[in-house]
Chain A
């Protein structure tokens, strides 16, 4: 885990880090990755992968409408509103 890797991950998460913080977190993340590498070294051939820590599957709900929130209440939380919709700053580029 280099300093550049840490800066890249921070940028993806939209977190501003100072130079000192980058050094700190690069070191900590490296320790986490080393630990994961230790686990990965164990021979797991013949062990079924764990998809989820809780041994459950198919948790489903029936397709029945439940009430939605009041629009006025929802939009009141937004920094800016126009025409019943959330108003956001000019977007550079297409949706990913």
Chain B
């Protein structure tokens, strides 16, 4: 939340590494975590006489991203962005400047808000610089070490319009964009490995004003959590500056995760003059219709569409918290399992809740489960064979070691509560407590809890509460 009377204006710039096998302009491998400087060649080291040749797959991924973000895909041109810094051995970065491949799109948040996409262009990544000495801080470092494995890795930079109004919304945007990038197949969206990197442009203004305040760019946002915290802090800082009669200086600021503050890096007054000019070694890119169609062929539906489809499947059985659960399962790519369960006759609320909570806690493991086994697991709780607690224990085992849910339940002794033995236990409990049974039969439903407690005690927690209630109802109907 912004301080009372103030509104934040936020735009995000997201760099995303593409899942190509090779770099943007050379055949070196695009791999994270390899030994330093093992994926380098004359092109990505900028050796004299080497020439870049554009990676077709990178262009396809860029068009997938553009399509997923509802952009217009246009003919584009590469430029050189010139600067001297050891992360680029060429002393320039090849990027798309005034004629980017994707322009004028939008992204829809789970609450149906649309955020404009100004552009999504192709560029090459830089090498990785490590500052040595001085506790890793740039200004105190003794020297730096450079690994060029990442230099030349294909990126798409996605620039949003300044349509975002809060730290929460910025986080939602980044999460949605990540889900879109993953769904498009173009990126793995891993912020912790740096394959998705977010910078935030933040300014503040009096509520109701449509002026633009002076903005600061906040960098070093390595997780959705730090993105939210950093923007929150930056909004508070700018409002405090203006309210105390000062003016916000246009700056690049670095988020210090440990201290929870943003720190000025450099003023924009001394902004770099990149002397952009068209890259003479590359010809224009003008994808025709068939190239564009080939690029997006096989691309599945995007998260917004998948959420709509799942809500439709839930057929009205979805509450406000259910909508959050829908967003969660789609984001974690588990919506297919929920759909399969509902189609197999599992109660929609149960299928959604178990998937958004228990299964989501190990989304990676759940995605690797056999859908048939997953549905079978849900069915045991759905049909009252397992209690909620038992079902969770079975899922944990299923995720841990795999196997058949029914066999896991049997091995854990949960199968003891097969229907006939449950009937016997409920019968005994009812006989032992005639007064309570009488009141239950007369309509005092609160006593169901009493009987469930008794049955649980007798079975040491193995019975399903739902199954007990069903049996109580059957007995009282016949009484």
Q: B145, A12: Cβ atoms under 8 Å?
A: no
Q: Nearest residue in A to B147 (C-beta to C-beta)?
A: A85
Q: B275, A12: Cβ atoms under 8 Å?
A: yes
Give B105-153 interface residues, CB cut-off 8 Å to A.
126, 129-132, 138-139, 141-148
Most buried by B among A75, A89, A91: A91
Q: A63, B41: Cβ atoms under 8 Å?
A: no
**Interface SS of chain A: helix, strand, loop or mixed?**
loop
Most buried by B among A12, A51, A64: A51
Q: B54, A61: Cβ atoms under 8 Å?
A: yes
The digit string for A64-94, where 1 denotes a CB below 8 A from any CB of B, is 1111110100110000001111111111111
* Cβ-neighbour of A86 out of B85, B146, B219, B265 (below 8 A): B146
Q: How far is the CA of A84 from the CA of B36 in the complex (A)?
A: 6
Return B278 CB to nearest CB of chain A, in Å. 7
Q: A96, B272: Cβ atoms under 8 Å?
A: yes
Contacts of A59 in B (CB 8 A): 53-54, 282-283
Return A53 CB to nearest CB of chain B, in Å. 8
Within 8 Å of chain A (Cβ to Cβ): is B20? yes
Within 8 Å of chain B (Cβ to Cβ): is A40? no
Q: Nearest residue in B to A83 (C-beta to C-beta)?
A: B145
Give A27-58 interface residues, CB cut-off 8 Å to B.
51-52, 54, 56-58
Q: Nearest residue in A to B131 (C-beta to C-beta)?
A: A91
Q: B53, A91: Cβ atoms under 8 Å?
A: no
Give B259-284 interface residues, CB cut-off 8 Å to A.
265-266, 272-275, 278, 280, 282-284
Q: How far is the CA of A56 from the CA of B281 in the complex (A)?
A: 12
Contacts of A71 in B (CB 8 A): 35, 37-38, 40
Contacts of B22 in A (CB 8 A): 63-66
Q: Nearest residue in A to B28 (C-beta to C-beta)?
A: A68
Q: A69, B283: Cβ atoms under 8 Å?
A: no
Q: Nearest residue in A to B271 (C-beta to C-beta)?
A: A96
| B: number of interface residues (CB 8 Å) | 65
Q: How far is the CA of A58 from the CA of B284 in the complex (A)?
A: 6
Within 8 Å of chain A (Cβ to Cβ): is B367? no
Contacts of B287 in A (CB 8 A): 58
Q: A88, B283: Cβ atoms under 8 Å?
A: no
Q: B26, A60: Cβ atoms under 8 Å?
A: no
Within 8 Å of chain A (Cβ to Cβ): is B55? yes
Q: A91, B138: Cβ atoms under 8 Å?
A: yes
Q: A94, B86: Cβ atoms under 8 Å?
A: no
Contacts of B42 in A (CB 8 A): 69
Contact A51:B145 (CB < 8 A) given known A63-B22, A91-B86, A96-B85: no
Contacts of B227 in A (CB 8 A): none
Most buried by A among B27, B37, B53, B254: B37
Most buried by B among A54, A61, A75: A61
Q: How far is the CA of A69 from the CA of B286 in the complex (A)?
A: 32
Contact A83:B36 (CB < 8 A) given known A62-B56, A95-B129: yes
Q: B143, A63: Cβ atoms under 8 Å?
A: no
Contacts of B406 in A (CB 8 A): none
Return B75 CB to nearest CB of chain A, in Å. 8
Q: How far is the CA of A88 from the CA of B84 in the complex (A)?
A: 13
Q: How far is the CA of A75 from the CA of B260 in the complex (A)?
A: 39
Q: B138, A94: Cβ atoms under 8 Å?
A: yes
29 contacts between A and B (CB under 8 A): A51-B284, A52-B77, A57-B284, A58-B283, A58-B286, A58-B291, A59-B54, A61-B54, A61-B56, A62-B56, A64-B22, A65-B21, A66-B22, A67-B41, A68-B39, A68-B40, A69-B40, A69-B42, A84-B35, A85-B145, A85-B146, A85-B147, A86-B37, A86-B148, A88-B143, A88-B144, A90-B144, A91-B86, A93-B138
Give the A-binding residues of B (Cβ under 8 A).
20-22, 26-29, 35-42, 45, 53-59, 75, 77, 82-87, 99, 126, 129-132, 138-139, 141-148, 219, 252, 254, 265-266, 272-275, 278, 280, 282-287, 291
Give the B-binding residues of A (Cβ under 8 A).
12, 14, 51-52, 54, 56-69, 71, 74-75, 82-96
